[in-house]
């Protein structure tokens, strides 16, 4: 089965001002290269023909970086939208940008676009317990400015930790007051009860075990705050593919239906998803494949039409077997897309 081309997850920049303790930036810094993708990269690979034929959604989110620090983020959005009404999702910590920049971004976005602000606290002191080096004042400036300058859909996305598990309702209340449309509570896996190297006395692990993911990938609990719903036209034409995905060794590969989004990192390397692109050692075989499919040296149309994805592509890596196991996929599917 060929890869689904309608949804792309792109790390437009691996640059970030933060040093979150359980981000790959902090855990495997020795293999980090700060770089970004410019407008010319998108014009070369996401040609008007390719965009018009395939592209319905792009999620700008990094394994290492934050998309708002890419120099060409706004020009890239304008370029894509000049071809067709591509839905844009941006996942950001929101720190250190000026008001004029947020106004410019807001003017480039439309009602069906989606901004996630990743906020794990309710003020500078609480938020920086995990979001190290974040700046609450500039985050709130960005939220208020974007709400005033754009009708895009906005989500407050908080990870449940020990330090905030008793403040979730307070964060929801703040999110409502700032005009967010949605509050998303993310249940993480990166705790000592899941991974021994974090220790049995993990300082970040919630004491409430219901706030830890019950599977091998993040889970999400979503509360609508505004009554608005995000239009997802692509579901109408693509969600029926879920039931058609061929189960391979108890795996439902979501890269076949565009659920997770085909991934391009900030070096221009292509992967079937971001899970197999992370820089941890268990992914070495995938990282070598990413170097083969470097879009600075080839182009996107050639990569996605390579016979490898039909004849040789297997799903037997650690990430595939844990993240796309049938039981895990069935449990998480409703909160994806």
What tens digit of pLDDT does each residue of 296-318 get?
999 999 999 998 888 777 777 77
Percent of the chain clearing pLDDT 70 (strictly above): 93
Distance CA 35, CA 110 (A): 28
- Comparison of pLDDT for 41 and 242, the residue scoring more: 41
For 158, list phi and psi in degrees, rounded to 5. Answer: -115, 135
Distance CA 161, CA 179 (A): 24
Q: Which of 41-50, 97-106, 176-185, 328-337 has the lowest mean pLDDT?
A: 328-337
- Comparison of pLDDT for 101 and 308, the residue scoring more: 101
> Residue 47, Cβ neighbours under 10 Å: how many?
15
Does position 336 have pLDDT exceeding 60, yes or no?
A: no
For 284, list phi and psi in degrees, rounded to 5. Answer: -55, -40
The CATH superfamily assigned to 7-236+326-335 is Aldolase class I (3.20.20.70)
* Contact of 7 with 68, CB cutoff 8 Å: no
Give me the pLDDT at residue 231, please: 80
* Contact of 38 with 71, CB cutoff 8 Å: yes
Q: What's this model's pTM, rounded to 2 decimal places?
A: 0.93
- The 3-class SS string of 300-332 reads HHHHHCCCHHHHCCCCCCHHHHHHCEHHHHHHH
């Amino acid at each position: 089965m060929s890869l689904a081309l309608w949804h792309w997850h792109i790390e437009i920049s691996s640059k970030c001002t933060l040093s979150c303790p359980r981000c790959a930036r902090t855990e495997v810094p020795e293999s980090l290269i700060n770089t970004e993708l410019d407008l010319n990269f998108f014009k070369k690979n996401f040609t008007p023909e390719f965009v018009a034929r395939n592209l319905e959604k792009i999620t700008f989110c990094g394994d290492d970086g934050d998309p708002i620090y890419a120099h060409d983020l706004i020009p890239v959005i304008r370029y894509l939208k000049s071809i067709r009404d591509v839905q844009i999702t941006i996942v950001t910590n929101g720190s250190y940008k000026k008001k004029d920049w947020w106004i410019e971004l807001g003017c480039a976005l439309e009602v069906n676009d989606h901004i996630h602000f990743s906020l794990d606290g309710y003020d500078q002191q609480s938020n920086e317990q995990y979001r190290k080096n974040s700046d609450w004042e500039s985050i709130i400036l960005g939220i208020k400015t974007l709400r005033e300058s754009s009708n895009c859909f906005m989500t407050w996305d908080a990870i449940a930790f020990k330090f905030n598990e008793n403040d979730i309702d307070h964060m929801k209340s703040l999110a409502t007051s700032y005009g967010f449309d949605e509050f998303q509570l993310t249940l993480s896996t990166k705790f000592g009860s899941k991974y021994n190297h974090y220790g049995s006395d993990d300082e970040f692990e919630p004491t409430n075990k219901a706030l830890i993911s019950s599977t091998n990938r993040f889970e999400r609990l979503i509360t609508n705050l505004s009554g608005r719903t995000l239009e997802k036209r692509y579901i109408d034409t693509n969600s029926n593919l879920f039931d058609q995905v061929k189960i391979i060794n108890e795996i439902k590969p979501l890269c076949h239906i565009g659920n997770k989004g085909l991934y391009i990192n900030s070096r221009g390397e292509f992967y079937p998803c971001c899970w197999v692109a992370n820089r941890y050692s268990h992914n070495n075989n995938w990282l070598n494949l990413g170097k083969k499919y470097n879009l600075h040296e080839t182009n996107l149309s050639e990569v996605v039409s390579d016979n490898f994805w039909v004849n040789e592509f297997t799903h037997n890596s650690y990430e595939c077997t844990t993240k796309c196991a049938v039981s895990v996929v069935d449990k998480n599917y409703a909160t994806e897309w």
